[in-house]
Structure 1
Amino acid sequence: MLQQVEEQPSEGGSGRRCAVCTATRPFILHFLPFRARNLHLCTACVLDSYPGSFCPICFDVFLHSPPPPHLHLRCSKCISISHLSCVSDAASSSLSYLCPPCSNPNFTFFHVTPNPANNAIEINLHLAKQLVAAATIASESIHNVAVMARINADIRVQEALSAKAEAAQVLDRLKNLLDNQDH
């Protein structure tokens, strides 16, 4: 069991809050790029926001590519990808497969309920897999942003060095012109 730790409210006074579902004081917030901004999202919102990045049944994350086409099923309603081995035989033989979130309107990822007696949250294997999947997605997203920032920084450095060299050439030409004008 994990005890939920009370934290001090942030500078805005609102405390911990998911930027998508605005759940106040979620168990865990993941920091990742979302809609061109770096935001804190609860585990459920990370998983809801990246449906093609993991199998919604076993929660294996597809870091760089999904499983081969003959080993997965795509949801006919969203972009979710499920391992064929995770899907029941009845669902896999159906022409229009629906992933768990699309097949159940009341479905929610990472549904935790604290024990009323001590406010402790029990993390079972199913919830742990969801938590690890969301953390992996957040980590990979931040890593990708860092790689792109490094590439952009290298480009800007090259542009600055090129501009510096060009400015030095212009100053040398100007100096030569002034020297020739004095003679």
Structure 2
Amino acid sequence: MSEKKKAAIVIYPQFSNYEISIISAIFRAFAKEIIVFSADRSVVDSEEGFHFIPDKTLSEFVLEDYDCLILPGMWCFPDVLKDSRYIDFFTQFKDKNGIVIGSISSSPILLAKAGVLNGRKFCAGLFEEDIDHYDFINKENIIRAPLVIDRNIITAMGSAYREFAIEIGRKLNFNCGEEWFSGIRKPIRSEDYIFYRNHK
């Protein structure tokens, strides 16, 4: 029996941890191993002020070991765009349909620069001025929506991080319910706040 494939999460300076919090929880719920990658082994600060130590460098990535790649958004994407280590890494995913790619908030700009979004519909959490500024962004393929799925690539606005996570889970054949992580139910009923270890 072959070893289960893993999920790769790529982080970079000022990445948005909250945008990948639910997909990380779903991976944990379905016992999917997560490996965190960055350009090097240095500590990476999230935009929320947390400090993360990557598991591996981008140069240690082996495509055959993974069936999912996750890109969080970031507070200051121009800095990451200038780092060729990231863009060179993402170019290997051009026309690779066998791996689920989830890219949220501003991070689709990295895939666009690497050519991964050529011929793909997508959404991106970017200002219109930024979309107009970068000529590698194909404006004709942008969909003004909270979430877009084009074959193996799922893109989403940062505010759709719950829906983003659920759709990635479903692409990986996890039984993710529509109500997962949906927040407070209204009207508030006491019976909704009684829990059993073994579901009745």
TM-score by length of 1: 0.24
The structure carrying a bigger helix percent of its residues is 1
- Identify which of structures 1 and 2 has the higher relative contact order when contacts are C-alpha pairs closer than 8 Å and 6+ apart: 1
The structure carrying a bigger strand percent of its residues is 2
Highest Rg: 1 or 2?
1
TM-score by length of 2: 0.23
